[in-house]
A and B are shown apart, each in its own frame.
Chain A
Amino acid sequence: MNEISWILIEAGVKALIIIGMMLLVAAASVYVERKVSAFIQLRIGPNRVGPFGLLQPFADVFKLFLKEDIIPAAADRWFHRIAPVISLGVAFAVYAVIPFADYIVIDDKIIQFGIAPDVNIGILFILALTSVGVYGITLAGWSSNNKYSLLGGLRSSAQMISYELSMGLALVSVILITGSLSLTDIVRDQAGWRWNIFIQPLGFIIFLVSSFAETNRAPFDLPEAEPELVGGFNTEYSGMKFGMFFLAEYANMATASALIAMLYLGGWQLPFPPEWLGLQPHTLAMALAQFAFLVIKVAVLIFFFIWVRWSIPRFRYDQLMNLGWKVLLPLAIVNILITAVVLYILK
């Protein structure tokens, strides 16, 4: 066995762990979403399956597995099958470059928390994958041969392409400050409450709003606007294929939350000096503490996503496009200009 084989095995094991974790996070978010929406609407929410309805997501998954899988007669069977796979695959692939904690050293061996957290082009990789994610939804809409699906697919791709721009430009300001495209470097740069949210408040807001649009979540869930489009791009999907789109939506939400936490909220940085707990850098205890704080930040952000969905009504399509192109894009460009000038003066 040479070195490359070991690297491959290590990456494979980590990928399996991360996928398992993501499935759990998705199940938990579905449960939280239903409970929070019930709370906001003065209902009780799921409470029959297991204690406090905790097993409800698993019951839902079983239901989806057992349901008949219908492909419309006029659909393009090949694209209809592959579209949910693209959506879910892309949603998971993003985690290849996300650092879950700082690296640890055991017996002079460096162990990374993440598959390739140190890669130099981490942010670009994530941007590239989000642009690939458009294909899953677009192909789903097109291949169903249904006008509602097609409209949903078109809306979604137009929306994602538009908001990708302001998202990318908001990122540029962060990159200017850090001077690196690696997520690990960006997180390290925010040590000791030097969080980017305080340095880049405008960029944070632009990125947050764009993430809502990128994940097709309310108030920007026009691709599946039920009153107008039946179910949007996934109208003709049933069984586990629908389940995969559903899962991809929640996985994307978790990805967006993790990304916001990494870029603006200090990622796995502890909110207090680690010496208070007597933690040494690059030990297992330290890494676990960092991971715990990352999980807390992501959980708060996921709750925020859910909270917004059940509080704010859906935008109209022209409002969505106006917001993206006439408000967020100019603001992002101004933000880059200000950041660049301030950095130049400080140097």
Chain B
Amino acid sequence: MADRTLNVSQLNQFIKRLVEGSAVLKRVVVEGELANCRFAASGHLYFSLKDDSAEISCVMWRSAAAGLKFMPESGMSVRVTGSVQVYAKGGTYQIVATKLEQAGLGAMFLETERLKRELEKKGWFSREIKQELPKEIRRVGIVTSPAGAAIHDIISAVERRNPSVGLLLAPALVQGTGAAQEIARQIERLNEHGGIDVIIVGRGGGSAQDLNAFNELPVLQAIHDSKIPVISAVGHETDVLLSDFTADLRAPTPTAAGELVSADLGELIDRIEMLRLSMTSLIQGRIRELSQQTDLLAERISSASPEYGLLEKQRRCEALAVTLKTEMNTRLMGLRARLERLSEAVTLLDPGLRLEKGWVYVTGEDGRPVVSASRAQTEKQMTLRFADGSVLVRPVEEK
């Protein structure tokens, strides 16, 4: 059978019919990495889709490209939906894309989860290995993009709180191909540079993909190996990256990181004021103590003076007077006791005691004792008191 000879056009037309007639190639969904991505002036989007070993050209016409929900960039993982079409004139084929989505997020998250488990097992996230921030921070190294929001935020936070803290920026790409390696290298360089007390590693907010460098091993390794304490400050408060777990400290935002490294100047000035007060009170205490010692000495000196002798004599006089008084009191008490004894003796001389021996006690009408005969003459009647009773008597007139 003789070979049928075709011209180029015929061949390409044949291929085109074959390809475009295929039900499979009419609607394909392909995942890969974006490359050579560019918008033409016409608004059409031209790009390639590639993986490790192959590449295919793609085009997205203006009408479809206008509906894109993100800005496609080379290096991104994407999923393309479209049909394979042949350009017969050039003998080339390409995907005419109708849909372009970010892809690989699932794969990225899975890898992050895997790495997280691995590093957790290695103890990279454990509290025990965290370095403390130094008490006094003089200079801060910053690894971030020189054009990003993070460096601005950090600078304004430090400037507001404590402009005496020095900042050294080690600029790095923070997203896209090679970002993780660059960040890691700058952390190492700051370690070698010296004079840095703390390193802030971070960036402003972005998509999960934008932030992903801070989930990658090179960055984590560099943070882990850093001799200088590292603060991770990536994105917004809600963004949590593996760098946050690996770093010695996580700051929710770059602004917060700036505040962490700059002791409030007001507080510093307060501290100096406290030191002034403390020094003053110490020296005043000193002086007070000395003046007390001086008073003591002065007293000792005056005790040796003649005036002090006089005083001493006076004091002795007073003491003697006291002794005297006590002595007198003792004597007085003795006398009083004697007196009591005497009065007892007097009681013993009670007339009642004699009446039994024939003595009588004579009282007049008025009850008063009649002590003489002449007195008795004047009484109309008298009472004679015997030991056992009384007798009323009338004197008999003697003629």
Please say whether chains A and B are actual partners in one complex.
no
Q: B residues near A, CB below 8 A? A: none
Q: A residues near B, CB below 8 A? A: none
